[in-house]
């Protein structure tokens, strides 16, 4: 039976329940753990995080279990022992990621690393463990640097991620779906099937007009509607916000066109942001509080909702075996 790596060990994919496929326990820029203005005590972090995870766990009950995929990766505040304690105490399965949010958040140590070195790092974190925690990564994060254009380091990380995904069977998710042409070329050259890649943030406000999401879907990539809730209707919306109705309509277009298997959805919220104030009023629970009711109101049936939040992410996160060897 297919299994998925969580911070507390491998679990059968069929037992993940409802999956929020791109979230953050706490994301911060490298160095923010020492920032004096935004530094948080452990008590503050638990106080901000536990109620959100408990509410998420309760809402997921009808689906059997709750799974939270942390998209933070290396260098951006990933804290595995903390994730393990949160998971133990709230019952939420937490999947940690290896990889990097983007080339421009990789510290110089990794910035200078070769493709082989980076691939070995991702494989080690996925098959042996992250540091000395014993927790294995369940997914690999990659991303496009600031400026919406792939930089040389981004390309090196994407290639290393493709090799590690083939070697380990875990999937990849991306920060941003813009400039996808070089990414798809790399995945093709390495022989990685594109359904192992979730092209993230295809739905955000600043990507519109730049992201070729239908084209990516035609190539076989999965499309991330994973910034649900960053609505311009928020009291203080972020620069990547988008009108709520417009994002929903974009998503519904896929469902109406029979492309449900091409999409995955999440909120990309921070339970407790690190080194920045975060976006007030936005949590993973948007999925239950706003999105699911909106989908039902739009006539989307329960089977489709279960497919989007249970079956498709279970398939995506399952550790696969690839029979062929490449390069």
Closest approach of Cβ 86 to Zn ion, in Å? 17
Nearer CB in complex with Zn ion: 60/198 = 198
Which lies closer to Zn ion via its Cβ, residue 38 or residue 240?
240
Q: Choose one: 47-55, 64-72, 109-117, 134-142; the region binding Zn ion (CB under 5 A).
A: 64-72
213 vs 268, which CB is nearer to Zn ion? 268
Residue 314 and residue 73: Cα distance in Å, rounded? 20
Q: How far is the CB of 24 from Zn ion (least distance, A)?
A: 6
CA distance 305 to 315: 15
Shortest separation between residue 321's beta carbon and Zn ion, angstroms = 28
Between 7 and 71, whose beta carbon lies closer to Zn ion?
A: 71
For Zn ion, the closer CB: 71 or 194: 71
CB of 175 to Zn ion, least distance (A): 6
Smallest gap, in angstroms, from Cβ of residue 300 to Zn ion? 24
CA within 13 Å, CB half, 279: 25
Site stretch for Zn ion (CB under 5 A), options 70-78, 133-141, 153-161, 243-251: 70-78
Q: State yes or no: residue 71 binds Zn ion (CB under 5 A).
A: yes
In the shown chain, the binding pattern of residues 124 to 153 toward Zn ion, with x for contact by CB under 5 A and - for none, equals ------------------------------
Letters for 255-284 (x = contact with Zn ion by CB under 5 A, - = none) are -------------x----------------
Name the residue among 252, 268, 270, 269 with its Cα closest to residue 308.
252
Cβ at position 12, least distance to Zn ion in Å:
26
DSSP codes, 192-245: --GGGEEETTTTSTTTTTT--HHHHHHHT-EEEE--TT-BTTSSS--TT-B-HH
Shortest distance, position 143 Cβ to Zn ion, whole Å:
9
Q: What is the DSSP string of 102-127?
A: -GGGS-HHHHT--HHHHHHHHHHHHH
Which one, 154 or 268, has the nearer CB to Zn ion?
Answer: 268
Residue 286 phi/psi, 5° resolution? -55, -35
Cβ count near 63 (within 10 Å):
16
Using the minimum distance from each CB to Zn ion, give the nearer residue, 2 or 234: 234
Q: How far apart are CA 8 and CA 4, in angstroms?
A: 11
End-to-end CA distance of the chain: 28
Q: Which helix (H) or strand (E) holds 303?
A: helix 302-306
Residues at the interface with Zn ion (CB under 5 A): 71, 268
């Amino acid at each position: 039976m297919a299994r998925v790596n969580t911070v507390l060990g491998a679990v059968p994919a069929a037992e993940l329940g409802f999956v929020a496929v791109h979230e953050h326990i706490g994301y911060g820029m490298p160095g923010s753990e020492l920032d004096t203005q935004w530094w948080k005590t452990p008590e503050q972090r638990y106080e901000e995080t536990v109620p959100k995870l408990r509410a998420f766990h309760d809402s997921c009950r009808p689906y059997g279990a709750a799974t939270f995929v942390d998209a933070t990766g290396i260098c951006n505040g990933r804290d595995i022992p903390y994730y393990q304690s949160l998971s133990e105490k709230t019952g939420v399965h937490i999947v940690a990621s290896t990889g990097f949010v983007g080339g421009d958040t990789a510290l110089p140590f990794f910035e200078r690393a070769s493709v082989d070195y980076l691939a070995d790092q991702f494989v080690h974190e996925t098959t042996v463990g992250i540091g000395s925690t014993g927790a294995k990564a369940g997914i690999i994060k990659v991303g496009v640097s600031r400026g919406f254009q792939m930089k040389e380091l981004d390309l090196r990380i994407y290639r290393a991620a493709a090799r590690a995904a083939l070697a380990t069977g875990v999937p990849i998710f991306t920060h941003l779906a813009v400039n996808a042409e070089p990414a798809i070329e790399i995945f093709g050259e390495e022989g990685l099937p594109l359904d192992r890649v979730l092209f993230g943030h295809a739905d955000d406000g600043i990507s519109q007009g730049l992201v070729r999401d239908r084209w990516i879907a035609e190539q076989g990539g999965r499309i991330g509607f994973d910034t649900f809730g960053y609505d311009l209707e928020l009291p203080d919306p972020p620069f990547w916000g988008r009108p709520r109705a417009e994002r929903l309509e974009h998503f519904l277009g896929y469902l109406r066109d029979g492309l449900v298997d091409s999409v995955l959805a999440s909120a990309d919220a921070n339970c407790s942001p690190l080194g920045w104030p975060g976006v007030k009023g936005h949590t993973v629970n948007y999925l239950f509080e706003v999105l699911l009711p909106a989908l039902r109101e739009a006539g989307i049936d329960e089977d489709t909702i279960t497919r989007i939040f249970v079956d498709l992410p279970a398939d995506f996160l399952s550790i696969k075996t690839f029979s062929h060897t490449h390069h």
